[in-house]
Amino acid sequence: MNSLYDAMIAGTGKYVPKEIRDNHYFTERMDTSDEWITTRTGMKYRHIAAPGEASSDMALEAAKKALDAARMNANDLDMVVVGTISPDHMFPSTGCMLLKKLGIKDIPAFDLSAGCTGLIYALTVGAQFVMNGKAKNVLVIGVEILSRLINWQDRGTAILFGDGAGAVILSIAKNVSISKLIDTDLTADGTHAELLMQKAGGSKYPATEETVRNSEHTVYMEGNKIFKFAVRSMYDSCHKILKRNNIDISKIDWLIPHQANYRIIESLGKKLGIHTNRVIVTIDKYANTSSSTVPIALDDAIRSKKIRRGDLVLLVAFGAGLTSGSVLFRY
Ligand code: ACO
């Protein structure tokens, strides 16, 4: 990418709430089975936020870990970008709430809504400010409490989602550094927006007694149509970014795809021709935490020393919008 500076990942962090729900939680409450959930999705456990716990609280915990990993404190930050579809409030932004909790002010902070592609979009936006010299250090967050937006009677969606937060600190890369962001790719197709949405509670259909009665403020999803889009769009984004940078898939050390369904991850891996042992999978532990699946998986892989400095890493996601995108970097 043409830029004044290179951006690099200086630190990562994650937070998942204490309460863990396994598949049996659902088998006791609805017509489903551990076998169905495991074989159709790959999910075993999901973490659920405690009453009163907000997205900004979870983002704060992930941010503190990322700052520690980058050997920085909050005063070193020049910007905060939060990818989320479950913000604390419609307004003000979770970014501003987080700023307050970090004890800092007088820097830009905002939210960005790109569904499960939120972290990829937020990283891309944050990187622009680092690469053009407007910011030295940007805190990028993916955070979701989708458990508050779920229809707990709907077996088609209730089993799929968990809560969590992931944080990435983007910083200016020193000239000698091997670590750098190589390229990003973003796209969206609004013609299929209705396949995955929260129908009510916004300005088009404000919350009424009727919308609440009909659970229209919860996640509506046409899962099998999204499934096809997921594999195709993530493959297209990976293919485009690799081709543009003249990199063969065999050179990628780690692929971190959005964790929505193990069968989607498996199909993507096969289509790309990457060995399963180079694909990071966390869906069994956390289920689909939307914009935070990618940074949580990234942080897990770094802390378990799977990903090491110098490794070539490809992040890819898709989500509500419908959005999709990828980020290619050398860690
Ligand atoms: N337990 C048992 N049976 C179930 C369950 C369940 N929890 N959920 C659905 N079924 C049933 C259906 O009712 C259907 O029954 P029928 O044949 O009698 O009508 C049957 O299973 C098959 O349903 P499908 O929807 O075709 O099942 P599929 O294999 O597609 O799996 C799933 C459903 C897991 C949702 C899958 O389609 C999927 O993962 N899709 C992608 C979802 C996704 O990626 N979402 C992105 C969200 S990202 C964001 O931005 C928030």
Q: Is 116 in the pocket of ligand 1 (CB under 6 A)?
A: yes
Q: Is 156 in the pocket of ligand 1 (CB under 6 A)?
A: yes
Q: Is 294 in the pocket of ligand 1 (CB under 6 A)?
A: no
User: Cis omega before residue 92 (within 30°)?
Assistant: yes
Q: Is 40 in the pocket of ligand 1 (CB under 6 A)?
A: yes
Predicted confidence band of residue 1 (pLDDT cuts 50, 70, 90): low
Q: Which atom of ligand 1 is nearest to the CA of 260?
A: 44
> Is the model's pLDDT at 320 over the cut of 90?
yes
> Tens of pLDDT along 97-133?
999 999 999 999 999 999 999 999 999 999 999 999 9
Pairing of strands 79-83, 45-48: unpaired
Rounded CA-CA distance 155/166 in Å is: 27
Q: Is 263 in the pocket of ligand 1 (CB under 6 A)?
A: no
> Tens of pLDDT along 66-100?
999 999 999 999 999 999 999 999 999 999 999 99
Rounded CA-CA distance 268/231 in Å is: 6
**Four-way CATH pick for 7-172: 3.40.640.10, 3.40.50.1110, 3.40.47.10, 3.40.50.10860:** 3.40.47.10
CA atoms within 13 A on the CB side of 30: 16
In this structure, CATH architecture of domain 180-330: 3-Layer(aba) Sandwich (3.40)
Buried b (16+ CB within 10 A) or exposed e, 308-320: eeebebbbbbbbb
> Tens of pLDDT along 237-270?
999 999 999 999 999 999 999 999 999 999 999 9
Active site residue 116: yes
- Quick one: angle between helices 262-272 and 34-41, nearest 10? 20
Domain ranges of the chain: 7-172, 180-330
Contact call for residues 258 and 314 (beta carbons, < 8 A): no
Ligand 1 center to 224 CA (angstroms): 6
Predicted confidence band of residue 174 (pLDDT cuts 50, 70, 90): confident
Encode the chain in three state secondary structure: CCCCCCEEEEEEEEECCCEEEEHHHHHCCCCCCHHHHHHHHCCCEEEECCCCCCHHHHHHHHHHHHHHHCCCCHHHCCEEEEECCCCCCCCCCHHHHHHHHHCCCCCCEEEECCHHHHHHHHHHHHHHHHHCCCCCEEEEEEEEEHHHHCCCCCHHHHCCECEEEEEEEEEECCCCCCCEEEEEEEEECHHHHHHEEECCCCCCCCCCHHHHHCCCCCEEECHHHHHHHHHHHHHHHHHHHHHHCCCCHHHCCEEEECCCCHHHHHHHHHHHCCCHHHECCCHHHHCECHHHHHHHHHHHHHHCCCCCCCCEEEEEEEECCCEEEEEEEEC
The pick from 38, 189, 227, 286 for probing ligand 1's pocket by mutation, whose C-beta has the most ligand atoms within 8 angstroms, reads: 227
Nearest residue by C-alpha to atom 43 in ligand 1: 260
Q: Which atom of ligand 1 is nearest to the CA of 261?
A: 39
CA atoms within 13 A on the CB side of 296: 32
> Tens of pLDDT along 53-66?
999 999 999 999 99
Rounded CA-CA distance 280/294 in Å is: 9
Active site residue 288: yes
Catalytic annotation, pick one of 23, 116, 217, 261: 116
Ligand 1 center to 122 CA (angstroms): 28
Mean pLDDT of the chain, nearest integer: 97
Ligand 1 center to 229 CA (angstroms): 14
User: Does 180-330 match 7-172 at the fold level?
Assistant: yes
Q: Is 227 in the pocket of ligand 1 (CB under 6 A)?
A: yes
Pairing of strands 163-172, 137-145: antiparallel
Task: Please name which of 160, 133, 157 lies closest in space to residue 41, comparing C-alpha atoms.
Answer: 160
Tell me the C-alpha to C-alpha distance, in Å, between residue 314 and each of 118, 280, 294, 308.
Answer: 16, 10, 10, 14
Q: Is 260 in the pocket of ligand 1 (CB under 6 A)?
A: yes
Contact call for residues 181 and 8 (beta carbons, < 8 A): yes
pLDDT, position 175: 77
pLDDT, position 176: 76
Q: Which atom of ligand 1 is nearest to the CA of 117?
A: 50
The pick from 224, 225, 268 for probing ligand 1's pocket by mutation, whose C-beta has the most ligand atoms within 8 angstroms, reads: 224
Q: Is 32 in the pocket of ligand 1 (CB under 6 A)?
A: yes
Rounded CA-CA distance 315/34 in Å is: 29
pLDDT, position 72: 98
Q: What percent of the chain has pLDDT over 70?
A: 99
User: Cis omega before residue 149 (within 30°)?
Assistant: no
